[in-house]
Amino acid sequence: MCGIAGLLIPAQSLAAALLTQRARGMASALGHRGPDDSGVWLDADAGVALAHTRLAIQDLSPAGAQPMASPGGRYRVVFNGEIYNFAVLRRELEAAGMPFRGGSDTEVLAAGFEHWGIEATLAKARGMFAVAVWDVRERRLHLARDPLGEKPLYYGAVAGVGVLFGSELKALRAVPGMTTAIDRRALAGLLQYGYVPGPLSIHRGIYKLPPGTLLSLDCAQGPPDDVAPWGCRRGVRLTPFWQLADVAAAGVADAVADDESGQIDGLDATLRGVIAEQLVADVPVGAFLSAGLDSVTVTAIAQAITPRPLRTFTVAFDDPRYDESEAAAAIAAHLGTEHTTLSVTGRDALGVIPELPRIYDEPFADPSQVPTCLIARRAREHVTVCLSGDGGDEIFAGYNRYLFAGSAAGLAARLPRPLARLTGRGVLALPPGGWDRIAGAAATVVPPLRRLWRPRMGEKLHKLASVLDAGSPAMVYDALMSYWPGQALPLCDAAAPPSWPPARLEGARALIDECMLWDGLRYLPDDNLVKVDRASMAVALETRVPLLDRRVVEYAWHLPLSMKVRDGQSKWILRRLLDRYVPPALMERPKSGFSVPVDDWLRGPLREWADALLAPERLTGEGLLDAGAVSRRWREHLGGRRNHGLALWSVLMFEAWYEALPAAEAVPGASAWQGREAIACAER
């Protein structure tokens, strides 16, 4: 796992020494991703510089250092990630006569590019990666990102500077002249969903490379002026080499009609092969272990195929609502892992919040980022690589909202729009706590109603009320996923987030199919995987996600829907598979979720911090957010009338990031506040 960066400028517009200096500055900004080594390579005549910071996982010797040349010297490569089937690919290349001098997967990639070509090699490679390749002969720059978007890659063409790319935005901002103007659509997306939807980034003109895509830039006549990932421009070509939407469509059209036992056997064999590959490393490997189905499945199979005890890690929270450490310890004892419980207090969690702008680099507002940062930090004290159970919900229909969305969409379709709107307003008129008291009293007085009682019933009713008037099933799901309703975004202008949904699934068997696809295209790469990557790489910890290997994803999409959801139970096939490894009694505890009590924190220990960031005069002076709309939500939240924690968290994470934006990155020579003010004025 590493950091990559580079720049492509008009040929000979910078002396080699200055080009080197800029590339080193980009690498320095990514030092946390690769503390073991760094390197820079130039093609000064072409105006190209590649930079790399290394976290040594495979081949710890200098033979694994980057930037790396292909065997014949045609390509120079910088690579972030892991190619899990590199040993198989290496044997094929050796049989074809390709020479090797070390044992790294980067060297296998470089040889593959020369022997098979770039597109063909990417199609063969199984892993997580972001890679940049300079074709010395053809003067082409190629950028590629793994199929599900596990590894990040930002890029853009900056007027007066050239083409820039890097694993994180801070590498691009290290280059003099890099613009930090705010993209209003990206800000709208952040406020509505809690993350910046790709391919946008928070900075105008800088983009995230879409997952499963190869971007090729013909630089023979100099760097292109526009490299946006849409439209058709001279010298710019985007080539998808693996697309989730295509896999999903093929899967639902040709679902495997096998016996249930055979399908479970097939999933077991697939996961065993994938996890065996992902356990390979020249450094210590462990696994995150909660009491949740996904992490337990990954850990159980990893331990079953590992001859020695696997290191496992669980966070113990001092708030019993979020603590799963006792259940996880019991599971670890059954599996025989070498288990470590990492105690985290509320004070620890609050203490990490000031670091979030630096860690996440782009404003990011999923509150579970807090415990994710804490467990990554603690695990890094023991291992360099950790397996994670992320991805299971998106491919095995694990989220409760999938079932809820179907019920809500059905109810919304049966109600006339005026009645739906009136009903929603009536429900929202009473605070969630009021509905909790009414529901509790009704369940006590009328015993048959007890089976309908659920914890935090009021919040669920409010969520249902907020989507009744949404319209189509797609918009119902969009409303369920929104922190702020789209029509109520607190922006100073009419900017709207990227269109929803990002794709429709032809032949979908139920709304659940489309929800899984939408989450796989947006929520997974732009929220879940961002959360894990930045938190882990901030402390130079590599995380590996077996459930997102393309073979597992393809297998899951070819399953009948009944193997995922049955009798109201999600992830049915994964549960039956886990029964082979863990007694069901150990898994009976409801999963609490990897979250934090953000609603309570904002009314309590974080109130002073939030008050300062949400001050109306501050928001008005910046000219980006509607101070009145934010203040109304803040007053309702403080008064306990509504829980607006997530909506307010998205504003707070943007404001904390905006405050931390270094002055030099905004307007050279200005103070931090002057720099941000200049950006806001330029945007207005």
Q: Is residue 456 scored above 80 in pLDDT?
A: no
Tell me the C-alpha to C-alpha distance, in Å, between residue 110 and each of 45, 98, 153: 22, 11, 19
User: Rounded distance, CA 548 to CA 392, Å?
Assistant: 8
DSSP letters spanning 70-100: -TTSSEEEEEEEEETTHHHHHHHHHHTT---
CA distance 618 to 602: 19
**Nearest to residue 27, comparing CAs of 42, 11, 47, 12?**
42
Residue 205 pLDDT level (bands cut at 50, 70, 90): very high
CATH 3.40.50.10210 at 246-397+514-587, yes or no = no
Average pLDDT rounded to a whole number, residues 138-158: 96
Note the pLDDT of residue 673.
28
Sheet architecture: strand order including 68-69? 68-69, 75-83, 127-135, 140-145, 213-218, 236-240
494 vs 142, residue with greater confidence: 142
Instruction: For residues 577-591, give the mean pLDDT.
Output: 87
pLDDT at position 220: 83
**Euclidean distance between CA atoms 223 and 220, whole angstroms:** 8
Place of tokens 């898994």: 587
Which helix (H) or strand (E) covers residue 119, if one does? helix 118-124
Of 227-241, 315-329, 352-366, 449-463, the one with minimum mean pLDDT is 449-463
Q: Of 86-95, 344-353, 450-459, 537-546, where does mean pLDDT reach its minimum?
A: 450-459
Reported as a single tens digit per residue, the pLDDT across 6-63 is 999 987 788 899 999 999 999 999 999 987 778 999 999 999 999 999 776 665 667 7
pLDDT reported for residue 384: 92
Give the residue range(s) of CATH 3.60.20.10 domains in the chain: 2-178+212-242
* Helix, strand or coil, per DSSP, at residue 604: coil
pLDDT at 66: 83
Percent of the chain with pLDDT strictly greater than 90: 64
Cα angle 371-377-381, degrees, rounded to a multiple of 5: 140
As annotated, the residues of the chain forming the CATH 3.40.50.620 domain(s) are 246-397+514-587
Q: Which residues contact 653 (CB under 8 A, 6 or more apart)?
A: 190, 356, 357, 360, 363, 364, 365
d(CA 408, CA 404) in angstroms, rounded, equals 6
DSSP state for residue 310 in the 8-state scheme: P
Burial 579-591 (b: 16+ CB within 10 A, else e): eebbeeebbeeee
Helices 645-660 and 672-683: crossing angle in degrees, nearest 10, is 120
> What is the CA angle 506-509-514, rounded to 5?
60
Find the mean pLDDT for residues 427-446: 71
Position 682 pLDDT exceeds 50: no
Q: 491 with 626: CB under 8 angstroms?
A: yes
What percent of the chain is modeled with pLDDT above 70? 91
User: Residue 50 forms beta bridges with which residues?
Assistant: 6, 41
Res 677: pLDDT:
32
Q: How confident is the model at residue 359 (pLDDT cuts 50, 70, 90)?
A: very high
What's the rounded Cα separation, in Å, for the pair 363 and 613?
A: 14
DSSP conformation letters of 390-448 = TTHHHHHT--HHHHHHHHHHHHHHHS-HHHHHHHHHHHHTS-HHHHHHHHHHHHHHSGG
- Mean pLDDT over residues 295-306, rounded? 96
In CATH terms, the superfamily for domain 2-178+212-242 is Aminohydrolase, N-terminal nucleophile (Ntn) domain (3.60.20.10)
As a whole number, the mean pLDDT across the chain is 88
Q: Which helix (H) or strand (E) holds 652?
A: helix 645-660
CB 373 within 8 A of CB 355: yes
pLDDT digits (tens, 9 = 90+) for 613-650: 999 999 999 999 999 999 999 999 999 888 899 999 99
Q: Tell me the pLDDT band of 344, cut-offs 50, 70 and 90.
A: confident
- DSSP annotation string for 454-478: -TTHHHHHHHHHHHTT--SHHHHHH
